[in-house]
Amino acid sequence: MKALVFGCTGQDGSLLCRSLLRQGVEVVGLSRSSNPNLATHQQLGIAGDLELTTADLCDFREILELITRHQPDAIYNLAAQSSVGLSFRQPVDTFNSIINGTINLLEVARFASFDGRLYFAGSSEIFGNTDQPAGVGSLRHPLSPYAIAKDASFNTVQVYRQAYGLKCVTGVLFNHESPYRSATFVTRKIVDGALRCLRDPGFRLQLGDLSVARDWGWAEEYIEAMQLILHADPLQDQVICTGRMETLEYFVARVFRELDLDWHDHVDLVASLRRPSEILCSVGDPAPMQDRHGWRARRDVDGVITALIAHARQASLP
């Protein structure tokens, strides 16, 4: 078995590469950069275990050559500008990396009569505010450039599966965390900031709106779900989530409480850190994944917080 993984150096891409390698799959990792940051691969112990290649997902000829040369059984597209906040500052780059990359890969697969399977990373951001737990058939109301791009890609994958018979599918992932998140993500910022407050009581952690609520899960578990979705028959888009929603204030308070601190003594709320357009509540319906694939998240927000703190403390040891 051979798999191509676009976006192989991010949180999800790195964890997916490790999972595939452990199963004996030959992995070719694709990155836009000719000098990719391999820190996460090194932390996961997979540096040097997969073939790394530079590729522009929007370059038709380049992607066609890769698929023709490697003849993979599976392709995972996890490549994109993945920060919602950054998408407001860089909407054009966000649209290009998500929408153009998605349709180019699908068009290459159609042109090459690719018979393998293609997985596309979707996002819960497409739903906007969820009045009740969302599933793939729920109304969608994207509220950011990132969400708009993901929504368009979700629709495009459905069209290529239904109209052209491609074996392609989208996993719509709600928030999922791990120690390998970029430091720009708020969960990582909170954990790192709380630990700094523990060491330096004079440090102040600056955050934006704590009233927003999210469905947080554990990234390694979501990697398992991705693969279940991709290899199922028939292919069906699925939501991957825990089904439990808590506010960011809950997340902050729980992190600080595990360190025997009161967050009120260490956190400043800064209006400039709020997004121009924000989702206030976001939660998914885990029942379809449970019913169809026997998969259910083992860690909810409390388990995620405990694991993040434990890893951060271990990493900070001399």
Q: Is 123 a catalytic residue?
A: yes
Annotated active-site residue in 82, 123, 178, 282: 123
- Active-site residue, from 76, 119, 146, 222: 146
DSSP string of the chain, one letter each residue: -EEEEETTTSHHHHHHHHHHHHTT-EEEEEES-SS---HHHHHHT-TTSSEEEE--TT-HHHHHHHHHHH--SEEEE--S---HHHHHH-HHHHHIIIIIHHHHHHHHHHHTT--SEEEEEEEGGGG-S-SS-B-TTS-----SHHHHHHHHHHHHHHHHHHHH--EEEEEEE--EE-TTS-TTSHHHHHHHHHHHHHH-TT--EEE--S--EE--EEHHHHHHHHHHHHT-SS---EEE--S--EEHHHHHHHHHHHTT--GGGTEEE-GGGS-SS--SB--B--HHHHHHH----S--HHHHHHHHHHHHHHHH--
Catalytic residue among 97, 125, 221, 246: 125
- Residues marked as catalytic: 123, 125, 146
